[in-house]
Amino acid sequence: MKYIKLLPAIFITTLLPIAAIAAENENIWNNILKSEFFAKQALEESDKVIELETPVRAEDPALVPIKITSKINQTKEHYIKKILVLVDNNPFPYVGEFEFTPESGKADIAIRIRVNTNSYIRAVAQMNDDTLTMAKKFVKASGGCSAPADPNTDETMSRLGKMKFRLDDKVKVGEPNLAQLLISHPNTTGMQMDQVTRFIKKSHFVKQVKVSFNDKPILTAKTDIAISSDPNFRFYFVPEKAGELKAEIIDTSCETPTSRKVCTQGNTYTETFKIQP
Amino acid sequence: MRILSLFALIIIAAQATASTALPVKEVTTGVYVHFGKHQFPDSKNHGEIANLGFIVGQKCVAVIDSGGNPQQGLALKQAIIETTQTPICYVINTHVHPDHIYGNNAFKAAGVKFVGHHKLASAMTTRGSYYLDKAAEQLDTKLTTADLILPDIEVKDSLKLDLGERVLTLKAHPTAHTDNDLSIYDEKTNTMWLSDLLFTEHLPTLDGNLKGWLSEIAKLEKQAFSYVIPGHGDLVTDWPQSIQAEKHYLTLLLTEIRAAIKKGKYLEDAVKTVGYSEKNNWALFDEYHRKNVTTAFAQLEWEDDYPADKK
């Protein structure tokens, strides 16, 4: 899977009449995204493997909670390897891809994303045998006065890279347990302007998230600018005994919002959490 | 015949340029307000929903918010022309939201200065292209970058504007309703134009910082004003009584979201449970409440990391 070339998408979104964008069409998926990400691969559209939950309307375009629930258990023989998330009509449709292991227990993932306009959101699950299943939902854009940019960037910057885990008080051995990882990061899109200099800022976003339990990977994610500021992930893991949950994130800064050709690697941040069942 | 047709031409020309004046009310000496309707901005009202107006001094008129689209800006300008011969010197934008700034272009002229919070230009530019797209899609209004006029004068902390025998005090607030809220105080009539720092009847909309807004309300309610003009809602003459409903709603958001976070609830749960006791007290609750909870929730998730900040 490679990053999509964005230029065609931009041309299409700007050239199509507004009514066409507002309607529930799948032109961008059919004409661009499908071949960019899944060229010549069979892809079944169904809710049999994963289900995608989204709000009907993006109440806050900067922060739309979405949840992917898996319908199958993660076993060594049969498991979801990866889930790719796309927002068709975003300036940069790639939201991220999330890799799971049998140790994840359940390949569920809940995230918060930016949704610029009326659009289909898609989640494509890839099994360990590489079969592909897609779930999709149409989300209406928010009306009113808000915008996908976040007004509290100064506050977020002051705690840049800070992370915390949240779990239920009682952790159960040998069963999937739900964990939440909160990351403080502005996840700047590169379309926002610096308050002081008035120059459009470079993008500055979390590009990789790795969560492990006792050094075994649970969740590995590649993420991009469509993830909301202060990224928030919910996922499962199966502890066999006491141990340590560890999150490691890497951020990056790219020259333009819609190309990933010229980027500078940023910092690595880590956080650990003791699990005592 | 020739004279008649020339006359007809003049009339047609006049009709083409002059808009119908926006209805305004003189709420106190020299303070004129157009009161908006409590509606969601859409393709029928074209974003004409906010309170707008102007204050007249001996030498200058200051426009306060210009309208929800360029035509409303022209109608407001016509109302000013029909009210006074005093020239317009300032157009003050109280914050970045479209219902308050989309009439700016109607006032662009030599001698007119645009005034805003020091973060307004940045907010306008950041949101500009997104807003312009949405104007066509959601308001059925055609806007170009020419309609987004950045301030010539930026208010860092506070600024006095002399309109002639009348001095306005502009104050740039810390992040509250938005990160670029500006209030205008007219000492002559003890009138405070709070714009969207105050909503009455219309549900307050949070696009800034919940705790920041509550802290501004705490400061404002200690002051005594004869008249207060909200961004949405009627003229207030019983200050600070009229801000209690907004304060109650925002405080309820704070309390109930904190409790939800403490109980390990997620954003999606909070959006369905928090604050619904207020549902029947406000217009446009269904349109804005979930967005308010979303914005506030994301802010309050991190407050425990700053115990000193928690109050």
pLDDT, averaged across chain A: 87
β A177-183/A232-237 pair status: antiparallel
Q: For residues B285 and A159, give the distance between their C-alpha atoms in angstroms, rounded to a whole number.
A: 33
Predicted confidence at residue A195, as pLDDT, reads 53
Q: For residues A46 and A133, give the distance between their C-alpha atoms in angstroms, rounded to a whole number.
A: 6
Structural domain count of chain A: 1
Predicted confidence at residue B21, as pLDDT, reads 97
Residue A2 lies in a domain: no
Whether residue A65 and residue B266 make contact (CB cut-off 8 A), yes or no, is yes
Facing B295 at nearest CB: one of A60, A155, A191: A60
pLDDT band at B223 (very low <50, low <70, confident <90, very high): very high
Stretch B125-137: mean pLDDT, rounded? 86
Contacts with A34 (C-beta within 8 Å, 6 or more apart), sequence order: A43
> CATH no. for residue A167?
2.60.40.2470
Nearest CA in chain B to A112: B267
pLDDT band at B157 (very low <50, low <70, confident <90, very high): very high
Nearest alpha-carbon partner for A268 in A253, A249, A245: A249
Predicted confidence at residue A258, as pLDDT, reads 80
Whether residue B302 and residue A67 make contact (CB cut-off 8 A), yes or no, is no
> Structure pTM?
0.90
Q: Which domains does chain B have, with CATH numbers?
A: 15-240 (3.60.15.10)
Q: Which residues of B touch A60 (CB under 8 A)?
A: 291, 294-295
Select the more confidently predicted residue: B128 or B76: B76
Predicted confidence at residue A6, as pLDDT, reads 42
* Matching residue, tokens 């918060």: A112
Q: For residues B267 and A230, give the distance between their C-alpha atoms in angstroms, rounded to a whole number.
A: 13
Region of B47 (left: φ > 0; alpha: ψ -120 to 50; beta: rest) is: left
Q: For residues B229 and B16, give the distance between their C-alpha atoms in angstroms, rounded to a whole number.
A: 33
Give the Cα-Cα-Cα angle B146, B161, B64 (nearest 5 degrees): 45
- Kindly state the DSSP code that residue B279 receives in the 8-state scheme: G
H or E element: which one contains B286?
helix B285-300
Nearest CA in chain B to A190: B126
Predicted confidence at residue A156, as pLDDT, reads 79
Contact between A203 and A89 under an 8 Å Cβ cutoff? The reply is no
Predicted confidence at residue B183, as pLDDT, reads 98
Residue A38 C-alpha, separation from nearest chain B C-alpha, in angstroms: 30
Predicted confidence at residue A277, as pLDDT, reads 85
Contact between B36 and B53 under an 8 Å Cβ cutoff? The reply is no
Predicted confidence at residue B168, as pLDDT, reads 98
Helices (H), chain A: 7-15, 18-22, 27-28, 34-38, 153-158
Predicted confidence at residue A147, as pLDDT, reads 80
Stretch B92-107: mean pLDDT, rounded? 97
pLDDT, averaged across chain B: 92
Q: What share of chain A has pLDDT > 90, as a percent?
A: 72
Beta pairing partners, B63 = B54, B91
What's the domain range around A19? 7-275
Tell me which of A54, A90, A145 to substitute to probe the interface with B (most B C-beta atoms closer than 10 Å).
A145
Kindly write down the DSSP assignment for every residue of A174-241, as one continuous string.
TS-EEEEEEE----B-S-SBPTTT-SBPPPBEEEEEEEEETTEEEEEEEE-TTBPSS-EEEEEE--SS
Q: For residues A202 and A186, give the distance between their C-alpha atoms in angstroms, rounded to a whole number.
A: 12
Residue A1 lies in a domain: no
Q: For residues B171 and B167, give the distance between their C-alpha atoms in angstroms, rounded to a whole number.
A: 13
Residue A165 C-alpha, separation from nearest chain B C-alpha, in angstroms: 12
β A243-256/A259-275 pair status: antiparallel
Q: Which residues of A touch B288 (CB under 8 A)?
A: 144
Q: Write the pLDDT tens digit of every residue in B33-74.
A: 999 999 999 999 999 999 999 999 999 999 999 999 999 999
Stretch B86-93: mean pLDDT, rounded? 98
Nearest CA in chain A to B130: A147
Whether residue B301 and residue A65 make contact (CB cut-off 8 A), yes or no, is no
Q: For residues B211 and B225, give the distance between their C-alpha atoms in angstroms, rounded to a whole number.
A: 23
Q: For residues A50 and A73, give the distance between their C-alpha atoms in angstroms, rounded to a whole number.
A: 11
Predicted confidence at residue A142, as pLDDT, reads 80
Q: Both tokens of residue B294?
A: 């979303």
Which positions in chain B have a beta carbon within 8 angstroms of at least one beta carbon in chain A? 40-42, 97-99, 119, 121-123, 125-127, 129-131, 133-134, 136-138, 175, 178-179, 205, 207-209, 264, 266-268, 271, 287-288, 290-291, 294-295, 298-299, 301-302, 305
Stretch B11-24: mean pLDDT, rounded? 67
pLDDT < 50: residue spans in chain A = 1-21
Nearest alpha-carbon partner for B270 in B280, B281, B262: B262
Residue A51 lies in a domain: yes
